[in-house]
Chains A and B, each alone.
Chain A
Amino acid sequence: MVTSPAKTDLPSKKDRAGRFVLEDVSVSYGNEKALEAVSFYIEPHKVTAMIGPSGCGKSTLLRCLNRMNDAIDNVKVGGKIMLNDKDIYQKAVDPVSLRMYVGQVFQRPNPFPLSIYDNVAFGPRTQGIRKKAELDQIVEDSLKKAAIFDEVKKSLKKHAFELSGGQQQRLCIARALATKPGVLLMDEPCSALDPISTGMIEETVQQLKESMTVVMVTHNMQQAARVSDTTVFLLRESMEEPAGLVEVAETSTLFTAPRDKRTENYITGRFG
């Protein structure tokens, strides 16, 4: 079912948006297989949503894409994950540089206990950028892209914990954007937020895809329908077997004319 991506839409040198190809990916935690036989590809400049009932491995799969699974004990990833034609699980790949290119935003806002400015400048400083003018520019650009600059421009020295939850999450987006990633992973970024903040983040995501690829896990199907171009539906049918991929399709198709009965059941609310 995975059609190999056409060579013509490979990202050009200047275009940093990343493309993933997943081939037969499986993940186990210890002896328990959580995911099996997942194959699809993630196109550049698109928002790809991953939906499915909780426990179906959405976060697990997302964590494979920037190798955040490496930090978990006993985790084993099988299959192949290609990012811009490079296998990211190869020995030679440096997970640190991978994570600078594949940024991540988490479920709960997790700003560092630092000022707003220092939070955003954190990644660039790790990359060795020291010049104040350069950092200032990156911080401003990132905060603007995350649609929070106007709210905080007068108080960049303020402690990040003084911001509201929604502002903190947008700050975390800005922090992830500051390393100029080509892919942004978002794991239920709005689940801890009010509808207004959620709306702002969804709008931000729409703009971000102009310069990068976005992969967003969400348990909210309306959100997937609103923001994504492609939707990936994962399902774990019983506790005994691992979760798998049920359907990947253009979002409008998946929600209006699902090919698989299980997808239809899920989106019409019959289980999960």
Chain B
Amino acid sequence: MNNPANTKKNRIIRFQTGLAESGQTTFNGLRNTRGLDSAATIFISVLGWTAIFVLIGIAAFLIQSSLRAFDEVGIWSMIAGSGWFPTSSNARYGFLPAQVGSIWVTTVALSACVPIGVLSAVYLSEFASKRFREAAKTVIEFMVTIPSVVFGLIGLAVLVPLIRQHLPVDSGLVALTAGLVVGIVCLPTIISISEDALRSVPSELRQGSFALGNTRWQTAYKVILPAASSGVFAAVMLGMGRAIGETMVVLMLAGNAGIIPASPLEAARTMTGTIAQETGEVVRGSVHFSVLFTLGLVLFVITFAINLFADMILERSRKKWRR
């Protein structure tokens, strides 16, 4: 993302100031580093642009592969279609079951992990001792690296029987189960990004609040949380992106039913789950194949939008304290 014209202009400005400050030696020094500098700039620019091209390439590939589905099924009957019968003779390719499934799983996941995650972040940033915080952050970073299939397994062994016993469901494999485990998968993301946001609030604000006779708790919820709200919100958005994209856990735990689930207590199937489940059996080049790409495109757009939005908010919250 390095605009060449811009780099050049910067270099000229730096050149002049360097010369003005310390004369000829700087002049020589600058000449020498200049070649290296521009090589490094080009290298980094290439990498930057590569990432963007790959992203554009993926989008273009998804669109191109979806063209057949756009043409033969129609965008609207996919996005707003309520039936998913891809293999019947009268095939229907409605995304609603998968979309509603994703919504339930994500809603459950966020309702579980946002309060817990934000409160943990508040605890770590405002109350915990330095040693405990460091230890907890290490554990949390480790949690991010655990493959979600492991959480799926644990959910299968522990949560599924619990839900079957205590809730009015036929089997423990429902959207609620998957949602709770997805919530655990998202938890580390939400905790660590919220904690960063809370800690970036200048300590002068804490001092100011203590000096007005506020307790730590009052300070945390009246001053620090509002001040860090955009960062915490971004953490929630990133967690949401993660929840929507989670595949393995929902395949293992959501029950995989291709109908629109009326509540989280019903078996469901998500957008990610549908794609993962069906790419194995689908005929390459068929309409069904193309439809799965469209579903992938919808996921791509949603997660891309969420991440972009979260990033913008995060950037804004970082700028806020640069005075």
Which residues of A are interface residues toward B (Cβ below 8 A)? 66, 68, 71, 73, 96-100, 103-104, 106, 108, 110-114, 122-123, 126-127, 172, 175-176, 179
Contact = CB atoms under 8 A, between A and B. Distances in A.
Interface in B204-238: 204-215, 218, 222-223, 226-227
A113 B321 CA distance: 10
Contacts of B209: 112, 122
Contacts of A114: 226
Given A112-B223, A126-B218, A68 B207 contact: yes
A111 B211 CA distance: 12
Given A104-B211, A110-B202, 4 more contacts: A106-B207, A106-B211, A111-B208, A172-B208
Contact of A123 (B130, B204, B212, B320): B212
A179 B213 contact: yes
B226 A113 contact: yes
Interface of B: 129-130, 202, 204-215, 218, 222-223, 226-227, 320
A179 B130 CA distance: 32
Nearest to A103: B211
B213 A96 contact: yes
A108 B202 CA distance: 11
B212 A176 contact: yes
Contacts of A97: 213
Contacts of A103: 211-212
Nearest to A109: B204
A238 B197 CA distance: 40
B316 to A, nearest CB: 13
21 contacts: A71-B207, A96-B214, A103-B211, A103-B212, A104-B207, A104-B211, A108-B204, A110-B202, A110-B204, A110-B208, A113-B226, A113-B227, A113-B320, A114-B226, A122-B209, A122-B212, A122-B222, A123-B213, A175-B212, A176-B211, A176-B212
A126 B211 CA distance: 12
Contacts of B226: 113-114
Nearest to B320: A113
A114 B227 CA distance: 9
A71 B210 contact: yes
Contacts of A96: 213-215
A108 B209 CA distance: 14
Contacts of A175: 208, 212
Contacts of B211: 66, 68, 99, 103-104, 106, 176
A99 B202 contact: no
A113 B231 CA distance: 14
Contacts of B222: 122, 126
Contacts of A127: 213
B19 to A, nearest CB: 33
A113 to B, nearest CB: 5
A233 to B, nearest CB: 25
A73 B132 CA distance: 14
B213 A112 contact: no
B231 to A, nearest CB: 12
Give 8 nearest A-B pairs by CB, closest first. A110-B204, A100-B213, A104-B211, A123-B212, A99-B213, A110-B208, A96-B213, A113-B227
A97 B215 CA distance: 10
B210 A112 contact: no
B204 A106 contact: yes
B213 A126 contact: yes
Contacts of A98: 213
A129 B313 CA distance: 34
Contact of A110 (B129, B207, B215): B207
Nearest to B130: A73
A140 to B, nearest CB: 18
A243 B210 CA distance: 26
Contacts of A106: 204, 207-208, 211
Contacts of A68: 207, 210-211
Residue of A98, A99, A103, A108 with highest tally of chain B CB at under 10 A: A99
Contacts of B129: 73
